[in-house]
Structure 1
Amino acid sequence: MANSKDATEVRSFLGLSSYYRRFVKGFAKKAAPLNDLIKKETVFVWDDNCEEAFQYLKFVLINPPVMAFPDFGLDFVLYTDASQTAVGAVLAQEQDGKERVIAYASSTLTPPQ
C-alpha cells in the first residue's frame, strides 16, 4: 500500500476494514490518517502516519481477536471514551472471573460534531 498512487486503493481498504471495525479497539482513531487521506480537496500524500495506520489495521485484521460471545444471563459493562476527533465504546462482561470484551464501537467525528 505504501506505493499507492491514488485514493481508490485506500478507500477500498477502508471499506473492507470498516466492515470489521467492531472487532478493532479504537478503529476510528487508528484509521483517521487514512480517512483524512481520501477526503475531497485533499492532496494524496502517503506519509509515515498513513503507513503506521495501514500496518496496524492490517495486523489486527489478520490476527484473531480475543473476544467472547455474550452471555445474556450476565450483566454487561459499557465503557465509553471521546476526544475532539473520535468516539469509542467497549462492551464487556465478566465471564469465568475475567472481564471479556464482547464488542468494540468507534466513529470519527466531523468538524460540526
Structure 2
Amino acid sequence: MEKFEGPSDYATPGSIVKRKDGRSRFVVDYSTGLNAQLEEPAYQLPVPEDIYNQLSGYEESQMLTVVSTPFGKYKYKVASMGLKTLPADFQRIMDDMFIDMPFAHAYFDDILIASVTSAEHLMHVRAVLRRIQQWCIRLSFKKCKFFQTSIRFLGRLIDANGIHHDPSKIDAIQTMATPTDVSPLRSFLGMVNFYQNFVSMMRDLRQPLDELLKKDVTWCWIDTHDKTVHDIKATISSKCMLTHFDPRLPITVAADASQHGIGE
C-alpha cells in the first residue's frame, strides 16, 4: 500500500484482525460499495488467501481500492483481499501457471504435487518451483512440506491407499448439538454434505431431516430425527475411505434410483 492524497471515488473502511498465529492482518470491507459496481467473472472457484497480495494492480484500478484509516487514505498497489472478482482471477492464474504440469494441482494458494517415486517427486518439485519463480510468485517456506507420504489437503487426509476423513473435522460434527430449529439444522446438513461422497445412499439416510426444510412444513422434532442425526454421525465417524482409481482393474458402471433424493 502507499499513502494517497486527494479526492477519490471510493474510500473503503479498513481494520486490523488477528491471525491464528498471532500476527496481524489489515482487512478491507469492499462489500460497502465497490463490490456492487464490479462484474463478477464466470469462473469456477473456491476460497481466497494470502497470495492475492502478490498480484500487481493496474494503475487505473488502484484508485478504486482507496482505504480510509485514522492516519489518512491509502491505496493498494497490488490486488486486495475482499474484491469479489479476485478469487476467480487468481484461480485462473494458477490454472494457467500449471496447465502443462499434470502432476501439479492448484486450489488457490494450495499446491499439491503428486508423484509415484521419490526421484520423480524431486523432479516434479523442482519443475514447480522453477515455474513459480518464473511467474514471480513468493512462497512461505514454513507452509511448505516436501516428500510427504500422507497430507492434509482441502479438509481430507490423502495417502497411498486413498482419501480419508480428517479426524479434526469429524470431531466438529460429533460435538454439534441437536438442532432446535431450521437454522442449526441447515448448518448440520451443510457440514454433513461435505462427506456425502464417503457415504453410500447419504440422501436416503438424511431424508427425514430434509423433510423438515420443505416449504410450509411445521417444525416438529421427533425420535425419528434424533435417530437420523445419531446414524449420520456414526456413519461419518466410521473409517470410510475413497480408494484411488486404478485403471488396471476391471471397471463396473452401476446406476440406481431413489424414492427420496438425488445425489451421489
TM-score class, shorter-chain normalisation, is 0.5 to 0.7
Q: Distance in 1 between matches of 2:191 and 2:238?
A: 15
Q: Find the counterpart in structure 1 of residue 244 from structure 2.
A: 69
Match of 2:205 among 30, 35, 51: 30
Q: Which structure has the bigger radius of gyration?
A: 2
Q: Distance in 1 between matches of 2:208 and 2:181?
A: 15
Structure 1, gaps ≥5 residues long: 89-104, 106-113
Structure of greater relative contact order (alpha carbons < 8 Å, 6+ residues apart):
1
Question: Contact conserved, 2:204 with 2:258, CA < 8 A, in 1?
Answer: no
- Map 1:1-113 to 2 at 5 A: 1-2=177-178, 4-87=179-262, 105=264
Question: Contact conserved, 1:30 with 1:53, CA < 8 A, in 2?
Answer: yes
CA RMSD after TM alignment: 1.9
Q: Distance in 1 between matches of 2:243 and 2:211?
A: 32
Identical-residue share of aligned pairs (%): 27
Deviates more, 1:27-36 or 1:55-64: 55-64
TM superposition shift of 1:73: 2.4
Count of residues in correspondence between the two structures: 88
Question: Contact conserved, 2:196 with 2:202, CA < 8 A, in 1?
Answer: yes
Q: Which has the higher strand share?
A: 1
Q: Secondary structure at the match of 1:49?
A: helix
Q: TM-score, normalised by structure 2?
A: 0.31
TM superposition shift of 1:48: 2.0
Q: Distance in 2 between matches of 1:66 and 1:15?
A: 20
Q: Deviations along 1:57-107, whole A, 9 cap, x unmatched?
A: 10111221154222122222233221332356xxxxxxxxxxxxxxxx2xx
Q: Distance in 2 between matches of 1:17 and 1:87?
A: 15
